[in-house]
Structure 1
């Protein structure tokens, strides 16, 4: 095959000779990258430089998608604030990235374990060992949406924008009355019609044609990190840039919480430790207590009245700072 011939490849990385003609696709991530035609003839350092040069294009592609990502964040905030849940759906690399993002939210922001859930095609077994073909099961995606309803948000991740498992999930979610977001690397993603918002990160041809665990996977990681973090910030799970949703349930987290309290309040560690103990490990209640000079019982009550948002609780009490950032804000 000459460099001028674009390979029409399947999601699994097969060539045009492998699939039946009706399965041939030419999505951007499966085209050949003109910058890496000779990658297999290069010394190690030059291989790495070519990979790195392509990786450097991903943040710019994500930046171009931020307006649509902002819409997705607003849908996520609306879902969680209204008592709903966020569900990620993906197969292969996208499913693994989604699983990691969802798993890290409770220890980072103190969310309930079922607030953000990840559904990976094939379940836990497919997380560790690739289960080829399962991504083509649209009915499996639909069945994984059982339990979704109005007020929930489904986020489907697929580099090609055409994976049947994700198609089934988005369509099932929409039928259940849930909002739907598609994250893809294909500006012409067929599944965009099944989503309220299409976050398209146009990463283009991969270093190795069709290997979407690379640039497209990096983009999905950046998008989900930004999505979930922005949702948590909007919900008041941070104070300034500090993780005040952390609950001190073990020695390591207790030490982290005391450090956070000291940074946010400017008070010494002994005072912070005492407040944390009085708040029974609730970092936000301890912080409100310290900043507003109230006992932790009142701090807890004010937080409950403000959906757990520290700044709102401080404003409600009337003695804490109303805005700004830094140690005192």
Structure 2
């Protein structure tokens, strides 16, 4: 298993992210971390773990996420590749359960999992909507795919055959799914296996992501001659962008965030308390947690 991560100025969060990978029940993995031009201590924190399974690549310049993920895929040596962001955390059995699912069903190319949203203060907010089976994930391709990018785990061959578009800086995951969903088989483990950090919705990212995906839709429509359904999808995104602007500008950020999430499953709270206690302690430059103050 290869876990790929790109980070930039992530000193406040990358220690917990890396620890969550090192504490997986599946221990046969490599963690490839691309330092995407950080100016803080991110690289020193990752190097401080001093674990031979971690491969740290330091880049002096900053590139978009798609470029760094393609770079990490090229470096990977595992049968499967799992995505990981430098501000998120895995539950202990994430990698083992996703690897088992891929081995059980050779038809699957790429799978996700459930993800709970938390704030930097450790508060649980809700669960991300995730399609469980292929038909649900691809039901409305021109509106979007309910398939959160940080939860992805798939066959290395699929990632190499379906690279990210390095010319776009946002919505690289939705663009890739749009280009590949007709010749890929998608699914998900029906369990929360990832904690996704989100303090608030950022309007600039929301709007830029929608505009980028609309560009992907238009290119797809021209290439496939599916212009009318693509235009319907673009109209949907225009309407949602207007709602985003109106909601955030009136100070209802948390309300909009909650509307995008599902209620938290009862079983998640005790699991989250345990994960938080272990992983959200301050990290020193040796890569080890200090006294837990969470």
TM-score (normalised: structure 2): 0.26
Of structures 1 and 2, the one with the larger relative CO (CA 8 A, separation 6+) is: 2
Q: Normalized per residue, which structure has more strand?
A: 2
What TM-score do the two structures reach when normalised by structure 1? 0.24
Bigger radius of gyration? 1
Q: Which has the higher helix share?
A: 1
